[in-house]
Amino acid sequence: MKAPSVMPHLKPAHINASKDEIAPFVIMPGDPLRAKYIAEKYLTSYKLVSDTRNIFAYTGYYKEKLVTVIASGMGMPSMSIYAFELFYFFDVAKIIRIGTCGALKANMKVPDLVLASKSYTESNFAYSYNGDLTHVSYPSETLNNEIVKTAQKLNLNLTIGDVLCTEQFGFYSDNEHVLKRVPKEIDPIAEEMESFALFHTANSFDRQAATILTVVDSKYNEDFMSIKDREKSLDQMILLALETIG
């Protein structure tokens, strides 16, 4: 699997940073304000290095490790733009996506932590990206193992399993018909909207990527994390990602 060829004169169109302003290790929330929150709370000597389209990117130190925190926006198209630019133009080595998800198992509750073992989508993203007919993409096994070890060190409960990567917000559609079509070998425990594009793009560059998620709602009950908490109160997930990279 190869990354698409692009015209050699192209420069990044969505990240207005110089190459030395982006760290090799990236933490990627979906929400730009969550990126701001992470920088202000966890990083030292940080600075805003990109703000194109209000997708904020901050580079600073977590402990002694230089790290960039940049938002991906929502959905696979947005994720693929930023992941591609980070890998292609800025030579990023690792991206850990930290995001929110809906529970697809009755025993999962708000705010459980999820680590994606693979991502399934009905989308033709892979075919459009580089002609690949697959609908399953995989994270870095090495990076996932590092996350598991870090979770154990921090005494965090982490549920590992398949995720369903959709092209729409589950609660705003009849996602039951999608779930009925999921192949038998896929057993999704949660749904979200970005992981497939991140994993497929990373694999095309032979780089590392992982996705950690926090359950914020469930199809089985009325638990629903507030907008305020989604923006600023996902600290266990944030710390897990930072400690893995740090």
Residues catalogued as catalytic: 217
Q: Which tokens is 53 given?
A: 């389209």
Please report the DSSP string for 2-62 in residue order.
Answer: -PPP--TT---SS----GGGS-SEEEEES-HHHHHHHHHHH-EEEEEEE-GGG--EEEEEE
- The answer to whether residues 97 and 211 touch, using CB atoms and an 8 Å cutoff, is yes
Q: Which tokens is 143 given?
A: 């990076």
Listed in sequence order, the residues at least 6 apart from 54 whose beta carbon sits closer than 8 Å to its beta carbon are: 32
CA dihedral 26, 89, 72, 5 (to 10 degrees): -130
Q: Which tokens is 54 given?
A: 């209000």
Which is nearest to 116 in space by CA: 100, 150, 139?
Answer: 139
- The answer to whether residues 175 and 149 touch, using CB atoms and an 8 Å cutoff, is no
- Using DSSP's 3-state secondary structure scheme, residue 214 falls into strand
